[in-house]
Structure 1
Amino acid sequence: MRADEALTDRPSRRDSMDASSAEKPCKCSYCGKGFSSPSQLETHRRSHTGERPFTCSVCEKGFAQLCNLLTHQRLHTGERPFTCSHCGKGFAQSSNLLRHQRVHADYRPFQCPDCDKSFKSTRDLLTHQGTHTGERPFTCPVCAKGFIRPFHLLRHQQVHA
């Protein structure tokens, strides 16, 4: 066997890439992203088309995925299957329970880049950062006075009532 024949018998890098793409043979015609099953591709395709085939029978809001409709319907039924073991508060989504559980711990993973303070949520960090920037994103529609927190705006609006 000649040396150049031996080289052609080995899979090329392109062949290796083809083998890995064979693991995800369903390709999106919009962006080229690969999926391992036609159902995954169909769900992804809806992100391009805006199709929402699953509709809430109560409010008629549409969803691209059935699981999102089922979660949404808990708003109407009041079902809260995820319960905090510390305080008993119920949640419609497990992610909301996980976020809530930070209340019971002193875990503060969101640190301000401008000072030593840390926060339990990104929302609290962003609100705090307004103290450094002077930003007051909550503006009174009557007098245009700005506030760092929405609660402060609501309390202020009672002045105009």
Structure 2
Amino acid sequence: MLRENIQAETVTAMKAKDKERTAALRLIGAKIKDRDIELRTSDKKPEDDALVTDVLLKMAKQRRESIEMYESGGRQELADKEKAELAVIEEFLPRQMSEEETKAAIADIKAETGAEGMKDMGKVMGELKARHGATLDMTRASGWVKEALS
């Protein structure tokens, strides 16, 4: 489903002669194809939407890191390019959980698993990723889990 949406949007962007959007969508398509090639020999293949979402999440994370580096390095034109790509990527991602929603989910998991200290961080993070992986920035969530367990 997601894969077809991305392909349809690529065609639409090409017809509209929107070069930046077309380039970003083609980049997404290439990354998805790369992942398909990686998984050819794998025994366990994830569901297609899960695979595409995972690729998009990784791409979004890379763009955020690049934006931060370019802005701290004084390269605003490159940061703007990355921001434009990030905007296209985020169109296809599920809505991300807010800080309050994330902290509530962490509290629920902490209560359910009986997690008390930092030794239980892996258990909480694993459960958090299993339940909310596609709608959560795990990097930010990691800090909140540490905060909740300390």
What interval of TM-score do these two structures reach, taking the shorter chain for normalisation? under 0.3
Structure possessing the higher relative contact order (Cα contacts under 8 Å, 6 or more residues apart): 2
Normalising by structure 2, what TM-score? 0.28
Instruction: Give the TM-score normalised by the residue count of structure 1.
Output: 0.26
Relative to its length, the structure with more helix (as a share) is 2
Give 1 or 2: higher strand fraction.
1
